[in-house]
Structure 1
Amino acid sequence: MSKQSLQSYRYVHFPIKLLAVLITCVSLSIVVGLMKYVPLAERAEHTYYYPFWYTLIISILINLAVLLFLILPLSLIADSVLASLKMKGPITKVICTILVYFLLGLGSALLFAIFVFKTNAFQYVGAYPYVIITTFVFLLWQSGLGWILNRARNQAQTNTK
């Protein structure tokens, strides 16, 4: 990638992407665990409910696999595509980023469905919205962490001058 193309799009470093993967994984797993949890007072008799910690751990493992093996590698490709585009203005950058990450989420969901459901990939559509939402949560965390890092660097540069 040329230096000029990197300047046209704010490049997110790989360690920040990895941290965003971990935070996305944990935050979505907590939300899923809380959604699946049934309080003791509302549980039906003679029915087994998974404990919160079990749901949390299983959700973390599934989210980690999807994020590490699908979304993270494809996001590196998406970032190189965004860096090669000549975008003028912040609104255009945001719209293009949202569009590219939506397509990334759709592609990741399709690959996930093909690997998990094999020939029934299009019969079970429950995975598609979840993977797309996971992609956007990943984008939000990576953008937020990148913004924090850039702001800290700018403050460090102004303090040294």
Structure 2
Amino acid sequence: MTTNNLRANRPSGKIVGAIFTAILLTIVTGLYRYVPVDERLADVHYYSFGYTFTITLLINLAIFLFLIMPLSILVDGLLMYRRRNNKYFILLLTFEYCLLGLIGGVIFSAFILNFDTFTAQTIYITVGSLVFLAFQLICNRIFPTTRRK
């Protein structure tokens, strides 16, 4: 069985997609948490953008390289058998990556033993898995691998 038509299962696209996703979500999170100097309170400590960026990038890289990427390999393996003559493949792929994000959120919450913010973590990882899917598909279109004969 060949998998040349399935563009979501190439390892180079997965690695680059995971790194780009981690960087994009880190920038968005850093900008969301940043408090401008004008609005800061006098007796409250605020972390700098660089510190927030660095810590969030490390956490996001760990999540996407060691949790989401291996789970996506499993999902792509399951989808490989449904590829033939399936006109709803993109919808199925999106649903499976949403499910992947939900499972990743549960695993991440169990790993850090924090179920107080379970919903927020699960939504963050689910959105991240969809962004990961988009970056992965874009990277595989831009940098196609050579086919073996």
Is the structural similarity TM-score above 0.5? yes
- The answer for the alignment partner of 1:17 in structure 2 is 14
The 3-state SS of whatever aligns with 1:125 is helix
Which structure: greater helix fraction? 1
Match of 1:50 among 28, 47, 61: 47
In 2: Cα distance, 1:124 partner to 1:135 partner? 16
The 3-state SS of whatever aligns with 1:121 is coil
Match of 2:110 among 101, 107, 114: 114
Which structure exhibits the higher relative contact order, with contacts defined as CA atoms closer than 8 Å and separated by 6 or more residues?
Answer: 2
Alignment check: 8 A CA contact 2:13 2:140 kept: yes
The alpha-carbon deviation at position 87 of structure 1 amounts to 4.0
In 2: Cα distance, 1:131 partner to 1:35 partner? 16
TM-score (norm 1): 0.83
Task: Give the greater-gyration-radius structure (CA).
Answer: 1
Match of 2:134 among 117, 126, 140: 140
Q: Which ranges of structure 1 fall in alignment gaps of 5 or more residues?
A: 154-161
In 1: Cα distance, 2:81 partner to 2:6 partner? 8
Letter of the aligned partner of 2:107 in structure 1? L
Alignment of 1:4-153 (within 5 A): 6-7=3-4, 9-88=6-85, 91-117=87-113, 121=115, 124-150=118-144
What's the RMSD between the two structures over aligned residues? 2.0
Q: Matched residue pairs, number?
A: 146
The alpha-carbon deviation at position 8 of structure 1 amounts to 5.4
Give the % identical residues: 32
